[in-house]
Amino acid sequence: MSIRHGLLALLERGPRYGAQLRTEFESRTGSTWPLNVGQVYTTLNRLERDGMVVQEGEDSAGHTLYVITHAGRAELRAWYRTPVDRASPPRDELAIKLAMAVGAPGVDIREVIQSQRRHTIKAMQDYTRLKAQALESVPVNRDEVAWLLVLEQLIFQTEAEARWLDHCEARLIRLSMAPLPAPDGAPSRAASSGDLASDVGVGEPTP
């Protein structure tokens, strides 16, 4: 998530101070990715250092206002035009957890998968309920539309995660039942529950 570009996008609408930027950022994203004021001001300092924003006076309450520069607008336009890079995807804790659980002593990876699936499905149901509430009336401003888009992304993401978990469990079950390579000249044999199944941390398939 680019806090840097999110703040530039908000500043393009006019001068803002730090706490105001935090509030508007969270309003636009439905507080899905909450910020603290420290993050906001650290990012503003870096943007100012890079010539993307400048301080320009204060409001009536004495808050320092930040204004986007021409360089900041150019940076923002380039961000909008450039696809999000998938060549170096962010670390995914769930994928790392399952990768490490494969073959880990005393870990039943199917139990790990099933526990995560229950959590993922509950999250998907919660997001779907929030979407239904958001659609009780037609979105009337940009913040409501933006929040709806974020909600739908979260729904699609959890749906994909649930499908991936189903795929992982099915693959591990197939591996536990796969024939093991036999020594030279001997017929191959099916893996028993104590062979490959234990290697990958898969118990006997449930009926």
Share of the chain above pLDDT 70, in %: 85
Distance, CA of 207 to CA of 198 (rounded, Å): 19
Structure tokens given for 76: 């923002």
Q: What one-character-per-residue DSSP string does 28-83 give? A: HHTTSS---HHHHHHHHHHHHHTTSEEEEEE-TT-PEEEEE-HHHHHHHHHHHHSP
pLDDT digits (tens, 9 = 90+) for 23-82: 999 888 887 888 899 999 999 999 999 999 999 999 999 999 999 999 999 999 999 999
Query: Residue 105, SS3?
Result: coil
Share of the chain above pLDDT 90, in %: 61
pLDDT digits (tens, 9 = 90+) for 110-149: 999 999 999 999 999 999 999 999 898 888 788 889 989 9
CB 112 within 8 A of CB 98: yes
Which pLDDT value is given to residue 120?
A: 97
Confidence of residue 183 (pLDDT cuts 50, 70, 90): low
| Measured CA distances, 100 to 104, 109, 171 (Å) | 7, 10, 16
CB 130 within 8 A of CB 151: yes
Confidence of residue 206 (pLDDT cuts 50, 70, 90): very low
Report the Cα 66 to chain-centroid distance in Å. 29
Q: What's the N-to-C CA distance of the chain in angstroms?
A: 42
Which pLDDT value is given to residue 102?
A: 87
Cβ burial, residue 130 (10 Å; 0-12/13-18/19+): middle
- Average pLDDT over the chain, rounded to whole? 86
CB 45 within 8 A of CB 64: no
Which pLDDT value is given to residue 193?
A: 38
Stated pTM of the model: 0.70
Structure tokens given for 98: 């399952």
